[in-house]
Amino acid sequence: MTDSAAPLLVMHDISKRFGATQALSGVSFSVRAGEIMALVGENGAGKSTLMKILSGAHRPDAGSIHVAGRSYAPGSPQQARDAGVAMIYQELNLAPDLSVEDNIMLGREASRLGWLLRREQRPRVQQALDLLGHGELRPDAPVRSLSVGAQQLVEIARALVHDAKVIAFDEPTSSLTRQDVEHLFKVIRRLRETGRAIVYISHFLEEVRQLCDNYTVLRDGRVAGAGSLAGVPESAIVALMVGRSVEELFPTVPHAPGDVLLSVDRLSGRRFPVAASLELRRGEILGVFGLVGAGRTELIRSIFGLDPVKSGQVRVAAKLLAASPRAAIAAGLGIVSEDRKGEGLAQSRSIADNLTYSRLKPYSTLGWLRLGERRAIVESWMSRLHVKARSAEQEIAALSGGNQQKVALARVLHQDAQVLLLDEPTRGIDVGTKAEIYRLIGQLAAEGRSVIFVSSYCHELLAVCDRIAVMSRGRVTAVRDASNWNEHSIMEAAIAVDDSAGGGNERPSA
């Protein structure tokens, strides 16, 4: 065991600026050998920037880093690996067609004159896998054939082969099953025993409490608090994360649900959803919770006709809806994609274009546009949603995440959708904007519109929604009034996989 008093990783007074945004200012952070440090914070708090600096993807503007007492300033991820710092990301960085061994040794192959020396490699690979307690993984199996959990082990084994002293896990459990999560935690504890310093990033406070020794909370690029997890209540950490009281964070607008507007009957897609049924009333906010990969996104995409539908029906105001985005828009549905960059917004087009793509008709005569008229309307939407931009002609890519999300929401409002399908609408945006979006959702419900609010962040669902449906493995496993849920019961329902797989599993809502 190494001397536990001297920290293995010290990041001192780190600052980083991107254009106008101060991503990190004066963050200090240290991890001792044999310690698991939780790094928590809202999206956009600076966790990933800090990790990118640690891994050499970004250079800090100010501050210093020491690893095992030595000054450390990686110019690239490669240099970081060589210095003994390894990152395990949410999305795995593996070559699926190569074998376990090849992936583990990638970039560090034992070779002579360009020829691989497999005999030398094999014991090192086996040693790493044994250390992780998974000696049963076959080094020659192609990575493609492994489960996600096993693939993650391969990635961790790679870090071990590279002799990593500091290993940072960035939301490692988001795509794992419950058993795999348990396995992973065992592996991480083993790593702690071997005297490595572990950084564990997550926003599941539950997991953090299970696994970690200490915590550091980041908020708006600063350290909001740090200490030992023992004896600290969860609510105290949430308060540190959001930096304000719960009432401020989740403003509510009174609204009253009416008759059923949207009904989804045993809807099945190519893989997900599986026979999902839901009802949504006029003026109601329905939350949909599930772990990543539970099929939430697929559910609303199938409702909207973006994903192929295998069986089942969607009705809007009792009328059957054809499975195509154009039919959905015509029937008064609107969708905000979870993937703003890849799908939700055309990044290189202007605000005005993005806001009006789904409804250009009011400004066109025989295909020709009246741009002045459109500009006026776009500007009115921008001011209603407080979109901060230089002009309506500004490119989307130049806006902050929060402002981009407001444009995506404004598009749905501009097309006058009665049913809004919002997929992770608060992901990656700042706390202030989140509050604005919660208030907006409340206002929309008060106007009589219906909202399906998909999120993996149960606090916001509990605070904002009238009812919450929980999904697991593509099925809707439970729907209850929000007041009948709490953080524990939601997580339990989301993780409960096998006991509810029998079908006909929808519990009646209260």
Partner 1 sequence: MNDRRPEPQFDDSDTIGSVLAKKWRYDWRVTVWLFTKTALGPLFIVWALFAVLDAFQQYGGSFAQIRSFQLIVVHTAAVAVPAFGMTIIIIAGGIDLSVGAAMALSATVGAWGFLHGHSPTEAVCLCLATGLAAGILNGSLISSLRVVPFIVTLGTMMIFQGAGRWLAADTPIRPPLASFAPLADFQAPFPTPAWHIFSPGVWIMLLLAVAVSLVLRYTVFGRYVFALGSNEATARLCGINVPLVRISVYALGGLFAGVAGVYQFATLYQGNPMGGVGKELRIIAAVVVGGGSLSGGRGSVLGTLSGAAIMAVIDHGCTTLGIGDMYQDILIGAIIVAAVAVDQYRQRKMAAAV
Residues engaged in binding partner 1 (CB under 8 A) = 18-21, 306, 325-326, 328-330, 335, 337, 339, 342-350, 353-354, 357-358, 360, 364, 367-369, 371, 375, 390-391, 393-395, 397-400, 411
| Terminal Cα-to-Cα distance of the chain (whole angstroms) | 55
Least distance CB 1 / partner 1 (angstroms): 43
Nearer to partner 1, 152 or 337 (CB): 337
Nearer to partner 1, 335 or 465 (CB): 335
- What's the CA gap between 304 and 323, in Å, rounded? 7
29 CB-side CA count, 13 A: 35
Nearer to partner 1, 184 or 399 (CB): 399
Least distance CB 351 / partner 1 (angstroms): 11
Which residue(s) pair with 167 in the sheet? Answer: 86, 198
Least distance CB 160 / partner 1 (angstroms): 35
Helical H runs in 162-283?
178-193, 205-211, 234-242, 246-249
Nearer to partner 1, 62 or 360 (CB): 360
Least distance CB 11 / partner 1 (angstroms): 23
The alpha carbon torsion through 340, 344, 347, 353 (nearest 10 deg) reads -140
Least distance CB 407 / partner 1 (angstroms): 11
DSSP 119-134: HHHHHHHHHHHHHTT-
Count of Cβ atoms closer than 10 Å to residue 94 Cβ: 20
Give the pair of three-digit tokens for residue 394. 């500004």
Least distance CB 206 / partner 1 (angstroms): 33
Nearer to partner 1, 166 or 335 (CB): 335
**How open is the CA angle 59-60-63, to the nearest 5 degrees?**
140
Nearer to partner 1, 254 or 372 (CB): 372
Nearer to partner 1, 147 or 364 (CB): 364
Nearer to partner 1, 119 or 390 (CB): 390
- What's the CA gap between 82 and 68, in Å, rounded? 13
Nearer to partner 1, 123 or 367 (CB): 367
What φ, ψ does residue 344 adopt, rounded to 5°?
-65, -40
Nearer to partner 1, 18 or 130 (CB): 18
- What's the CA gap between 92 and 329, in Å, rounded? 36
Distance of alpha carbon 326 from the chain centroid: 28
Which residue(s) pair with 70 in the sheet? Answer: 67
Which residue(s) pair with 17 in the sheet? Answer: 22
Least distance CB 64 / partner 1 (angstroms): 24
Least distance CB 43 / partner 1 (angstroms): 15
Count of Cβ atoms closer than 10 Å to residue 6 Cβ: 12
Which residue(s) pair with 28 in the sheet? Answer: none
Nearest to 106 by CA among 95, 117, 97, 92: 95
| Residue 334 contacts residue 421 (beta carbons within 8 Å) | yes
Least distance CB 342 / partner 1 (angstroms): 6
What single DSSP character describes residue 363? G
Least distance CB 299 / partner 1 (angstroms): 16
